[in-house]
């Protein structure tokens, strides 16, 4: 967990430094930093029923190269205790983001990202964890509050993971605050 957190902070800082030196034009922010609440629906597959994991966080940083194209790093963590077993799921993905900036108030976006997922479980001081491939496809809409702040009214993502030799088809919903940095 500590390695993932340190790595996530390093990637966020490097991404921020890179994109603030990029040239954004016509009021498009050079970088957008999102933080908020996240809900995950885990579908383990293999005939097992799914599980709602409502207690989570979601953060991302995106560097915009022009009005419609950017690269985003996306991180989320979800936690739940099931029958006395503390479980957690973390996603860390990267990829392109496409934003329709045709309306100043509502800005829908779509993204496709790849990276990893880490699942962990602990009981009575003992724990296990596993890391696998993850892919995310989805999008959402940001609603302008001010020139520098927006509300992510909703982000809806299909999340594919591959644990235990099979695929899991999961769903993530997130909402929160977006800070828009460095526009010209």
pLDDT digits (tens, 9 = 90+) for 161-177: 999 888 999 999 999 99
Q: Which residue has the higher pLDDT, 26 or 108?
A: 108
CA of 180: how far to CAs of 16, 20, 152, in Å?
A: 12, 11, 12
CATH 2.40.160.20 fits 2-181, yes or no: yes
Q: Where is mean pLDDT largest: 2-6, 27-31, 133-137?
A: 133-137
Q: Are 2 and 129 in contact (CB under 8 A)?
A: no
Residue 86 confidence (pLDDT): 93
Band (pLDDT 50/70/90 cuts) for residue 24 is very low
Distance CA 78, CA 106 (A): 28
Compute the average pLDDT of residues 39-47. 84
Residue 26 confidence (pLDDT): 67
Strand partners, 129: 120
Residue 155 confidence (pLDDT): 98
Distance CA 119, CA 27 (A): 40
The H-assigned helical ranges of the chain are 2-20
Q: What is the pTM of this model?
A: 0.82
Of 3-12, 43-52, 62-71, 133-142, the poorest mean pLDDT is in: 3-12
CA nearest neighbour of 31 among 80, 76, 65? 65
Band (pLDDT 50/70/90 cuts) for residue 56 is very high
Task: List Cβ neighbours of 114 (8 Å cut-off, separation of 6 or more).
Answer: 93, 94, 95, 133, 134, 135, 136
Name the average pLDDT for the chain.
87
Measured in residues, the chain has a length of 184
Radius of gyration of the chain (CA): 17
Q: Where is mean pLDDT largest: 17-26, 42-51, 129-138?
A: 129-138
Residue 48 confidence (pLDDT): 74
DSSP class per residue in 106-132: EEEEEEEEEEEEEEEEEETTEEEEEEE
Residue 140 has pLDDT above 70, yes or no: yes
Task: List Cβ neighbours of 144 (8 Å cut-off, separation of 6 or more).
Answer: 104, 105, 106, 107, 150
Band (pLDDT 50/70/90 cuts) for residue 20 is very low
Residue ranges per structural domain of the chain: 2-181
Band (pLDDT 50/70/90 cuts) for residue 22 is very low
Classify residue 61 as exposed, middle or buried by CB count within 10 Å of its CB (0-12, 13-18, 19+): buried
Strand partners, 91: 76, 117
């Amino acid at each position: 967990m500590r390695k993932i957190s340190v790595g996530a902070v390093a990637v966020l800082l490097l991404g921020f430094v890179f994109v603030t030196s990029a040239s954004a034009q016509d009021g498009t922010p050079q970088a957008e930093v999102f933080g908020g609440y996240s809900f995950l629906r885990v579908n383990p597959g293999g005939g097992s029923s799914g599980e709602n994991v409502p207690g989570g966080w979601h953060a991302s940083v995106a560097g915009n190269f022009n009005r419609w194209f950017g690269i985003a790093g996306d991180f989320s963590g979800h936690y739940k205790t099931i029958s006395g077993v503390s479980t957690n799921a973390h996603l860390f993905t990267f990829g392109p983001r496409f934003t329709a900036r045709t309306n100043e108030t509502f800005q829908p976006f779509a993204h496709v990202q790849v990276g990893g997922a880490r699942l962990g479980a602990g009981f009575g001081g003992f724990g296990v964890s596993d890391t696998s491939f993850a892919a995310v496809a989805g999008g959402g809409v940001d609603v302008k509050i001010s020139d520098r702040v927006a509300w992510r009214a909703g982000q809806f993502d299909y999340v594919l993971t591959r644990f235990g030799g099979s695929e899991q088809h999961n769903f993530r919903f997130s909402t929160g605050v977006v800070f828009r940095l460095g526009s010209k």
